[in-house]
Structure 1
Amino acid sequence: MADFGGNAEFGSQRAERAVERTLGTLRALDTASVQAPDRPLTLEDLYKQQRMRMVRLAILLVDDPATAEDVVQEAFTGLYRNWSGLRDARAALGYLRTAVVNGSRSVLRRRKTAREYQPPHQADARSAESLAMLSAEHQAVVAALGHLPRRQREVLVLRYYGDLSEAEIAEATGVSRGTVKSTASRALEALQKHMRLH
Structure 2
Amino acid sequence: MPAATSPPPPEQGDITALYHAHRLELVRLAALLTDDRETAEDVVQDAFTAAYQRRGPALAGVDDPLRYLRRSVVNGARSVLRRRRTARMWVPPHLPPAPSPEEDAIRAEEDHRLRAAIDALRPRQREVLVLRYYAGLTEADIARTLGMAQGTVKSTANRALKSLHRMLESPR
Q: TM-score range by the shorter chain?
A: 0.3 to 0.5
Which structure: larger Rg? 2
TM-score (norm 2): 0.47
Where relative contact order (Cα < 8 A, 6+ residues apart) is larger, the structure is 2
